[in-house]
Amino acid sequence: MSTAATGQDRPAEPAKALRPVLLFGTSTARITDAIELLLLAVGFRAQFGKLVENPVSTLQTGLLAFGALQTVWALLCCPPAGSQAKKRGANPVQSVILSITLTALVVPLLHIIFVLFGAPFLTHQLETLLCSSILAVLSVFPVFYAHGVNSTAWRAICGFTAPLDETVGGFWGGIIGAWLGAVPIPLDWDREWQKWPITIVCGLVGGISLAASPAGSRL
């Protein structure tokens, strides 16, 4: 005896493959993207001496500068999550505000992860908080802006199956760079620049500069 087919009997539709985020092809976007990466690397190198002398003040200033750079980059270079929708695209300004909010929520988690991986627990709390904030702004913010809270996208990115683009390259470049930046800290060199979290910040900025540069719309 046959039965009528129901919606439950239908095979599930295959999940759509995650596509790379293609930056805007305008000359303004290309110039802004290049300048942003240049300022990130060269500007940080110019402030390295101040970072060693006064980490807290320099990190505070750097956080504001990085936030401004990322905001300009997002508005001028990168399509926001949902911009490919057929009916109505996403509002870039609203997407920036939402991405900043989501990024701020990630900072405490990154702070805890830093502590679990050996950051000072009873001291240097402000330094660790600022380091976590900079990592979030530089690595996590672009992914939130480009993909929102799409669980499929985040699983692909965290599972190393996402196609390489500037947001994915910057995400993993910052994380791996921060991890490698911890290597000099325990070495018995007794140098000022080995103090927490100077090498971590150097590593994450360097990692993002190297990984994001060849991974964006240039692919």
Looking up tokens 């303004």, which residue turns up?
A: 28
CA distance 194 to 67: 25
**130 CB contacts (<8 Å, ≥6 apart)?**
56, 59, 60, 63, 197
pLDDT digits (tens, 9 = 90+) for 13-50: 445 667 888 889 899 999 999 999 889 889 898 999 99
What pLDDT is recorded for position 88?
Answer: 56
Burial class (CB in 10 A: 0-12, 13-18, 19+), 207: buried
Chain segment 159-209, per-residue pLDDT in tens: 999 999 999 999 999 999 999 999 998 887 889 999 999 999 999 999 998
- The whole-number pLDDT of residue 189 equals 82
Inter-residue long-range contacts of 187-196, CB under 8 Å, 24+ positions, other chains counted = 192/52, 193/48, 193/52, 195/52, 195/55, 196/119, 196/120, 196/124, 196/127, 196/128
Q: Residues 40-68: pLDDT tens digits?
A: 889 898 999 999 999 999 999 999 999 99
